[in-house]
């Protein structure tokens, strides 16, 4: 019986590992330490704030962030006033007003990050035919998630001999290596307001951290709920096990 | 029915509608074999998973929008803005997998202990019907978030029906409600995804009626001969089932809270795009063995027939296995081939997740052939010739007290 149970358990686990194999042809990613990994993982607010700066100053020129609203930035440790001020830096088209006219106004915390292009065709047209993807879910939509993003941003190399890829468009970690985005980061591309030196590696780490939050904003709530649920379930299961042993003790 | 109550209200209802006595016999003094092991927990676990799916699904339906332009973002709204929406959605997503885990273990337990044999043939067949309905429900549910895998999975699977001669193309456009997977497809899949679970509940009710008519099988596979062989449901098996649910939820919670997307596919976080095909279109893990069978056959119609045949063969299994001994405990040869069958099934699952090329194609063909060989040749022809079953104990009680 025990053998059968453990056999079937192994069988189930075996099935579970299959999707990992299905991922296929990606290059092996480096391993990084992320504060949000692990049982008690939480986001690093300072890193996310720096990451927001990288997104705003570098990525946002081409990439939208459709699913994130300014009000969500409260999660990054900003005060309500800071978020208001941040949102007010943007100009948003609103309307129609009473006269039926569209008008422009300062951004509010309830606004979403504006799209750099009016539509996908315009985005494709300004980027040699390939529209830059939305970044809201990027950290969940690629194998490796934030690790993949960070590796990709630092993975630009000279094209190896014999490959027909334009210089600057070879990326070690991009599937197929020919990437349509030239390296977006260069040393000191942003000036961090907390004084952290803006190396390429630092910016890649920060913006990946920020994008992980953008994709999975409830991660901290999820893990802390999980701890409480596990404590309850362990006690519940032990009590049930004791009760089961007691009830069955009289049998035979 | 011998049910009598001292409570006047209960007795008044009982005299007019015997619902209380029926419940009492079903979940209170229902006799079960006293020697059931933990593999018998998985039926109630599957029931628990079904209820969880329906409960979370109803709340998701209140927030979800079945429209090609809004479905993806409505799911993200659930994840971001709906109170506890992330929890409800992740429970629904992961419990779908755990539902299949419970049902697969439940089925393999039935295979090992011969739970499909007389008088439990209809009980088993109703289970196969539930399994089919589950697969249809899961497939349509996976389409609803309208990610890349949703869209392309729906395209690949619905296209299978085009393999049927003459009527194939008409069936496909009838399924789609148009000329490609589009808004009408999403709408009907949502309607059916909401409907089918309740049909599953109805078939589960029949499954339970059949179960309570013939009684549970047990690890020895011999019939109960009287009260000394059995225990009543309450408190023995209610407490054992609750313990099982605790362990099940512990395992489930590890995925739910720490790896909620582990069993999913990253591509489904990319909105559906009919103009861009993903590099590999892979179904959810629980379909992979059947997907491998589908792709193993070089002919499209043949592949579709083999895939459906793989389930149809389960339907007639009670008449394919001719041994009168139920439990593999007393079938030394069948037991070995049971484990080979399990390994073969796992191999099919692995192969279903691999690209259809090179060695994987050959391996898929061998594993597919073995799948059918097991049911169509091994069980009905070879085993009866070579197997000498061991002697059965005379009663459950005797076997239990001896050990």
Considering only residues B361 and A27, tell me which one the structure prediction assigns the higher pLDDT.
B361
Contact across the interface for A225 and B236, Cβ inside 8 Å: no
pLDDT beyond 80 at B226: yes
- Residues of B belonging to the active site: 212, 216, 240-241, 284
Using pLDDT thresholds of 50, 70 and 90, give the confidence band for residue A4.
low
Give the pLDDT mean for A1-12: 52
| Core vs surface per residue B213-222: b (16+ CB within 10 A) or e | eebbbbbbbb
A interface test, pick of B37, B72, B142, B239 with most A CB neighbours within 10 Å: B239
Rounded CA-CA distance B75/B84 in Å is 13
Using pLDDT thresholds of 50, 70 and 90, give the confidence band for residue B344.
very high
Rounded CA-CA distance B156/B143 in Å is 12
Q: What is the mean pLDDT of chain A?
A: 90
pLDDT reported for residue B2: 60
Give the pLDDT mean for B328-347: 97
Lowest mean pLDDT among B6-20, B240-254, B261-275, B364-378: B6-20
pLDDT beyond 80 at A12: no
pLDDT reported for residue A20: 40
Lowest mean pLDDT among A42-51, A123-132, B120-129, B306-315: A123-132
**Placement of tokens 């609203």 in the chain:** A69
- Check: CB of residue B129 under 8 Å from CB of residue B294: no
Using pLDDT thresholds of 50, 70 and 90, give the confidence band for residue B4.
confident
Rounded CA-CA distance B49/B92 in Å is 10
Chain A nearest-CA distance from B334, in A, is 14
Distances (CA, A) of B263 to B95, B172, B373: 11, 29, 31
**Strand, helix or coil for residue B264:** coil
A interface test, pick of B90, B257, B260 with most A CB neighbours within 10 Å: B257
- Check: CB of residue B249 under 8 Å from CB of residue B98: no
Chain A nearest-CA distance from B400, in A, is 7
Cβ of B78: how many Cβ atoms within 10 Å? 21
Beta strands in B226-379 (DSSP E): 230-232
SS3 labels along B283-313:
CCHHHHHHHHHHHHCCCHHHHHHHHHHHHHH
pLDDT beyond 60 at B208: yes
CATH fold, domain A43-66+134-217, is: Cytochrome Bc1 Complex; Chain D, domain 2 (1.10.760)
> Does A241 reach chain B within 8 Å, measured CB to CB?
yes
Tokens of B44: 């109630």
Alpha carbon dihedral B226, B228, B232, B236, in 10-degree steps, equals -150
Give the pLDDT mean for B7-11: 92
| Core vs surface per residue A116-147: b (16+ CB within 10 A) or e | bbeeeeebeeeeeeebbbbbbbbbbbbbbbbb
> Does A16 reach chain B within 8 Å, measured CB to CB?
yes
SS3 labels along chain A:
CHHHHHHHHHHHHHHHCHHHHHCCCCCCCCCCCCCCCCCCCCCCHHHHHHHHHHHHHCHHHCCCCCCCEHHHHHHHCCCHHHHHHHHHCCEEEECCCCCCCCEEEECCCCCECCCCCCCHHHHHHCCCCCCCCCCCCHHHHCCCCHHHHHHHHCCECCCCCCCCCCCCCEECCCCCCECCCCCCCCCCCCCCCCCCCCCHHHHHHHHHHHHHHHHCCCHHHHHHHHHHHHHHHHHHHHHHHHHHHHHHHCCC
Residue A165, Cα to own-chain centre: how many angstroms?
28
pTM equals 0.94
pLDDT reported for residue B401: 81
Rounded CA-CA distance A48/A206 in Å is 6
Alpha carbon dihedral B110, B113, B117, B123, in 10-degree steps, equals -30
Rounded CA-CA distance A116/A91 in Å is 12
Give the pLDDT mean for B218-247: 95
Cβ pairs A/B, distance under 8 A: 144
Give the pLDDT mean for A154-170: 91
pLDDT in tens, A49-104: 999 999 999 999 999 999 999 999 999 999 999 999 999 999 999 999 999 999 99
Residue B68, Cα to own-chain centre: how many angstroms?
29
pLDDT reported for residue B403: 62
A interface test, pick of B39, B80, B147, B149 with most A CB neighbours within 10 Å: B80
**Placement of tokens 């300014």 in the chain:** A70
Give the pLDDT mean for B387-396: 93
pLDDT reported for residue B213: 94
Contacts of A251 in chain B (CB under 8 A): 34, 231, 236
pLDDT beyond 80 at B165: yes
pLDDT beyond 50 at B285: yes
DSSP B354: S
Please, how many CA atoms are within 13 Å of residue B297, restricted to the half-sphere of its CB?
21
pLDDT in tens, A164-194: 898 899 999 999 999 999 999 999 999 999 9
Tokens of A182: 């030239």
pLDDT reported for residue B216: 96
A 91-110 near B (Cβ less than 8 A): none
Tokens of B398: 């005797």
Contact across the interface for B265 and A22, Cβ inside 8 Å: yes
Chain B nearest-CA distance from A14, in A, is 7
Tokens of B234: 């309450």
Tokens of B73: 């973002």
Contacts of A242 in chain B (CB under 8 A): none
Q: Provide the ipTM.
A: 0.93
pLDDT beyond 90 at B298: yes
pLDDT beyond 60 at A14: no
Contact across the interface for A8 and B39, Cβ inside 8 Å: yes
Rounded CA-CA distance A120/B78 in Å is 25
- Check: CB of residue B229 under 8 Å from CB of residue B396: yes
Give first-to-last CA distance, chain A, whole Å: 18
Q: Which residues, at least 6 apart from A209, have a Cβ–Cβ distance to it below 8 Å?
A: A34, A35, A36, A43, A44, A47, A48, A51, A146
The residue among A199, A151, A205 whose CA lies nearest residue A35 is A205
Chain A nearest-CA distance from B270, in A, is 6
Using pLDDT thresholds of 50, 70 and 90, give the confidence band for residue A18.
very low
pLDDT in tens, B74-133: 999 999 999 999 999 999 999 999 999 999 999 999 999 999 999 999 999 999 999 999
pLDDT reported for residue A27: 77
Tokens of A138: 């990027």
pLDDT beyond 90 at B3: no
pLDDT reported for residue A252: 67
Nearest residue in B to A229, CA atom: B253
pLDDT beyond 60 at B204: yes
């Amino acid at each position: 019986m025990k053998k059968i149970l453990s056999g079937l358990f192994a069988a189930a686990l075996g099935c579970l590992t299959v999707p990992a194999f299905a991922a296929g042809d990606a290059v092996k990613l480096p391993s990084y330490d992320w504060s949000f990994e692990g049982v008690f993982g939480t986001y690093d607010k300072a890193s996310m704030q720096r990451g927001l700066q990288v997104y705003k100053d570098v990525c946002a020129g081409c990439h939208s962030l459709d699913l994130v609203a300014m009000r969500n930035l409260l999660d990054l440790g900003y005060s309500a006033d800071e978020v208001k001020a941040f949102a007010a830096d943007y100009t948003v088209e609103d309307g129609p007003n009473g006269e039926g006219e569209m008008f422009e106004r300062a951004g509010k915390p309830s606004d979403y990050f504006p799209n750099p292009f009016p539509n996908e065709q315009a985005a494709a047209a300004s980027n040699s035919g390939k529209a830059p993807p939305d970044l809201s879910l990027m950290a969940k939509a690629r194998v490796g998630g934030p690790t993949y993003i960070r590796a990709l941003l630092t993975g630009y190399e000279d094209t190896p001999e014999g490959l027909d890829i334009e210089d600057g468009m070879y990326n070690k970690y991009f599937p197929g290596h020919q990437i349509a985005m030239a390296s977006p980061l260069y040393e000191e591309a942003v000036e961090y307001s907390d004084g952290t030196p803006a190396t390429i590696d630092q910016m890649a780490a920060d913006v990946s951290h920020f994008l992980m939050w953008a994709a999975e904003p409830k991660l901290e709530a999820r893990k802390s709920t999980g701890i409480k649920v596990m404590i309850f379930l362990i006690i519940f299961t032990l009590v049930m096990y004791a009760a089961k042993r007691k009830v069955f003790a009289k049998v035979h | 029915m011998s049910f009598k109550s001292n409570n006047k209200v209960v007795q008044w209802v009982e005299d007019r509608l015997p619902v209380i006595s029926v419940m009492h016999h079903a979940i209170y003094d229902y006799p079960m074999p006293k020697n059931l092991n933990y593999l018998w927990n998985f039926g109630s676990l599957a029931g628990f998973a079904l209820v969880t799916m329906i409960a979370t699904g109803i709340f998701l339906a209140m927030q979800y929008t079945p429209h090609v332009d809004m479905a993806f973002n409505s799911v993200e709204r659930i994840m971001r803005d709906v109170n506890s929406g992330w929890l409800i959605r992740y429970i629904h997503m992961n419990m779908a997998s755990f539902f299949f885990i419970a049902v697969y273990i439940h089925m393999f337990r039935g295979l090992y202990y011969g739970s499909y044999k007389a008088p439990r043939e209809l009980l088993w067949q109703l289970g196969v019907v539930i399994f089919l309905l589950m697969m249809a429900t899961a497939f349509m549910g996976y389409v609803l978030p309208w990610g890349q895998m949703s869209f392309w999975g729906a395209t690949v699977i619905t296209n299978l029906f085009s393999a049927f001669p003459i009527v194939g193309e008409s069936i496909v456009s009838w399924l789609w409600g148009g000329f490609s997977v589009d808004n009408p497809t999403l709408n009907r899949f949502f309607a059916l995804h909401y409907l089918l679970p309740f049909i599953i509940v109805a078939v589960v009710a029949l499954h339970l009626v059949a179960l309570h008519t013939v009684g549970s099988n047990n690890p020895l596979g011999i019939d109960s001969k009287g009260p000394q062989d059995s225990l009543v449901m309450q408190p023995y098996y209610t407490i054992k089932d609750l313990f099982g649910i605790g362990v099940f939820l512990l395992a489930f919670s590890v995925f739910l809270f720490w790896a909620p997307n582990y069993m999913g596919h990253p591509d489904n976080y990319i909105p559906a795009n009919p103009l861009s095909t993903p590099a590999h279109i892979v179904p959810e893990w629980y379909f992979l063995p059947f997907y491998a069978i589908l792709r193993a056959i070089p002919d499209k119609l043949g592949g579709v027939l083999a895939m459906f045949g793989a389930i149809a063969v389960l339907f007639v299994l009670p008449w394919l296995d001719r041994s009168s001994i139920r439990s593999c405990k007393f079938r030394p040869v069948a037991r070995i081939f049971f484990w080979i069958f399990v390994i073969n099934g796992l191999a099919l699952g692995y192969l279903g997740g691999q690209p259809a090329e090179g060695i994987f194609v050959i391996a898929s063909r061998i594993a597919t052939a073995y799948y059918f060989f097991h049911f169509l040749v091994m069980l009905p022809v070879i085993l009866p010739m070579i197997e000498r079953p061991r002697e059965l104990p005379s009663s459950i009680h005797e076997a239990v007290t001896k050990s």
